[in-house]
Structure 1
């Protein structure tokens, strides 16, 4: 079977000559809206988003989003790529292009990346076997953000990527993401473990060892496992129930990806380990495996 072809666009969808000078970045910066700058910052933190995810985060209409994203790509502010499959093709995956990366670096006092360095990062991202995992993690937070914009009581106050939260946790654990969810006058932190089904469930559950160690340092939040299907979710809970010491006072809950797509992560979709009860995100009980509130 032939391998799927990768359509990769570094900066300009029209194939024009590459621009990457400081003058180009300054000129491009003059055309940016506040929304454009917010998108640049988000892509700098979270690497890649699909057309649909960007439309849901920033635009009221898909067609408006597509037109703006094409324009930003033509200007070298964004880059995009997708895998060609039969029939049809994937939605575009967007990341920072040469000028977008320069603009973001300048805004944060960082060393300006070269055009060659940015093209290398985009190509590596496009070929990264964990790209779908990254997009799945980002989808979780995009959906929460979308929910909050439709509900004035709610807010995704924080959204950290894997690298940032791993460093903040002193590398004791490596969550796929961290968020702070606010609903009315209540708030909860949350660790995300996004499972694609490639590891044994025993390996997945062994990640809780690090969370128990982290809890002993008074940092404990609900740990949410997103699992690829209901069958794997059932097996996850069966294994957790057979080894109750694994939980050790942690709040561990799971949801199957198909249920999240239907119900949404803010709603009563989270099955709490050791019970048969599903909770809304904000209603998950606080962990007891720490000495004081985290």
Structure 2
């Protein structure tokens, strides 16, 4: 069971925030707050831990700021009711935050009701944990760049933007560009939660082969939920060499990422037995076409 977003309920009780409220609220926002609004607009939901790793250096400072912004209606938050224990809050744009970000990016100003409805739908979305898993991958990589000189996450695209860039030929869960000591690697991300047949994961590679034939040759990374599923996936790929031809495919697991981070040598390259760092992944050769 998921609790309704408190801020949305409070807004309904106290009256909808107005444009004047948004103008007043934005005067109290810092550049970091505005960066947070842009992140949430692009990636829909982030946990407190993920926000801290991207924008803060201190957990307590982050918690206090998030609570303050939520109380002002700039952010909204929700979490599921689980027993025993509790769940981290999931943060998204509140009514004022959505209005301010829309004005900043020259988009139509949403109504508070529309924002509250989106938040409620997001809190009930069965794909929410999948979304948070994708965002965990990228925020971990971002944090590694913040804390290691010479490293930087240059690009982080959500599923919608990545799919549009692929002209719907492939539907990656995300796209990134990672730079390490002057070397940059581009990649597509497929975040697997174990709910699909492995054959379905293999079928996704056909779209990436079509992209390669069209001139977009980029490694495809799979994050899998466990070692057994990873081994079975590689075994299935080994039996279909034509599917892999011309592609760079690498996998890791949630446990590997929990023990290290996405930049570390946790990537098992299909067709090989060793693991490599993200920055060391080979870029697939461009397709050659007969004249």
TM-score, normalised via structure 2 length: 0.96
8 Å Cα contact 2:11/2:17 also seen in 1: no
Deviations 1:35-93 (A, max 9, x none): 00000000000000001111111111111111110110111100000001111211000
**Equivalent residue for 1:179?**
176
Q: Are residues 1:269 and 2:266 paired?
A: yes
Q: Are residues 1:91 and 2:88 paired?
A: yes
1:15 and 1:207 mapped to 2: Cα distance?
Answer: 44
**Equivalent residue for 2:277?**
280
**Which residue among 26, 32, 53 is the counterpart of 1:29?**
26
1:37 and 1:291 mapped to 2: Cα distance?
Answer: 45
**Equivalent residue for 2:103?**
106
* Structure 1 position 18, deviation (Å): 4.1
Deviation beyond 4 Å, 4+ runs, structure 1: 11-16
**Equivalent residue for 1:234?**
231
Aligned runs of 1:130-141 on 2, under 5 Å? 130-141=127-138
SS at match of 1:84: coil
* Structure 1 position 288, deviation (Å): 2.3
Query: Aligned in 2, Cα 1:5/1:121: closer, same or farther, shift over 3 Å?
Result: closer
1:13 and 1:88 mapped to 2: Cα distance?
Answer: 25
**Equivalent residue for 1:254?**
251
Q: Are residues 1:167 and 2:164 paired?
A: yes
Gaps of 5+ in 1: none
Query: Aligned in 2, Cα 1:235/1:227: closer, same or farther, shift over 3 Å?
Result: same
1:279 and 1:261 mapped to 2: Cα distance?
Answer: 17
* Structure 1 position 277, deviation (Å): 1.3
1:220 and 1:5 mapped to 2: Cα distance?
Answer: 41
TM-score, normalised via structure 1 length: 0.95
Aligned runs of 1:184-199 on 2, under 5 Å? 184-199=181-196
Query: Aligned in 2, Cα 1:18/1:237: closer, same or farther, shift over 3 Å?
Result: farther
1:255 and 1:61 mapped to 2: Cα distance?
Answer: 29
8 Å Cα contact 2:216/2:286 also seen in 1: no
